[in-house]
Structure 1
Amino acid sequence: MKLKIYYDGHCPLCVQEMRSLQGKNTANAIYFVDINRLDFSELYPHIDVDKAKAILHGEDDAGNLMYGLDVTYRAWSLVGEKWRVAPLRWPIIRSGADKAYLMFAKHRFKISRWLTGQERLDCSACADLNKSE
């Protein structure tokens, strides 16, 4: 594994993106962790759940944390599709993209409802995205 992604499994759009990544994660370079797991705080005490609900968190093998679009960029790079998000890290676009991401993250449930018809998923709708745990 090269990246752990701590994502909000109650967010339909977040889960949709994680499933897209998992479908391309043939080398198992990414490990997906739903921050809503009952044992999350016990297993990952170094991740503040409230902060992880506000912004996507990721962690590399060395234990370095990354956030927001840096996680997205790293994940899509690991599955060989960096081109999907590369412009979001270009210096001229980066700052605006990060601000837009924070607005998206803050309003993701409303946006999910508009785009998918579902505001939140309950845990029974969440699935373990990892092939084996």
Structure 2
Amino acid sequence: MALRVAAAACIGRHKNAPLSLVSVPNRLLRRSPPGFGSPLQHQAGRSVRAIQGATAEPVAPKKEDERQSPQDWKIKMLYDGDCPLCMREVDMLRERNKQYGTIKFVDIGSAEYLPEENQGLDYKTVMGRIHAVLSDGTVVTDVEAFRRLYEQVGLGWIYAITKYEPIATIADAVYKVWAKYRLQVTGRPPLEEILEARKRKGEMCNDGDKCKM
């Protein structure tokens, strides 16, 4: 009864008070189970929060750079996006990287690829063998590059043995053979022809607003 009198008094002072405070039935004033509070308490609480929200100053939205931090990558993988076998491994690492976010993937065949942003490594150099760049600028190649990449996505055990001799030397030798013949194995033309085709494409694209190829 006391609560209803208080509610009526509030309504008398504030004509625009929420209707939920008007004429609360006695059954709503009965004690609710411990820990839940009465229905009136819930209604009053929501009404007070609504009033406070209406009178409070609006909160300025955070800027985009405040809501999201940049990717904290630890190693950058420079890969040949036109190599079908290479892309299988890249896709696997990219899927694993969703959990870790430590690898940045850079397609050297992309028109946006810039050597100056990747320790001066040009297309021809990177096509010769795999290169990766650590966040401190260190460049790693061959099997060591794979080992560093796999370590960043929780698969370091696969290449762990290649840290030790004579396995390290043998692994690098095997990889160099693969790198030498990978274009032929994947049915692509020799590197010299690829470079010439890229040069012609660049010249054609520079002649107009749109690439003619």
The verdict on a shared fold, with TM-score over 0.5 as the criterion, is yes
Aligned: 1:53 with 2:127: yes
What is the CA RMSD across the aligned residues, in angstroms? 1.8
Give the 5 Å matches for 1:20-59.
20-25=92-97, 26-41=99-114, 44=117, 46-59=120-133
Structure 1 stretches of 4+ moved >3 Å: none
Give the 5 Å matches for 1:121-132.
none
Distance 1:63 1:21 in 2: 21
CA radius of gyration, larger in: 2
TM-score by length of 1: 0.78
- Relative contact order (C-alpha < 8 Å, sep 6+): which is higher? 1
Aligned: 1:70 with 2:132: no
Distance 1:97 1:109 in 2: 20
User: 3-state SS of the aligned residue for 1:80?
Assistant: coil
Q: Is the 8 A contact 1:4 1:30 kept in 2?
A: yes
| Structure 1 segments unaligned to the other structure (5+ residues) | 114-118, 121-133
From the two aligned structures, give the one with the greater helix fraction: 2
TM-score by length of 2: 0.50
Distance 2:149 2:115 in 1: 25
Q: Per the alignment, do residues 44 and 84 of structure 1 end up closer, same or farther by CA in structure 2, a change over 3 Å counting?
A: same
Look up the match of 2:86: 14
| Structure 2 segments unaligned to the other structure (5+ residues) | 1-72, 190-213
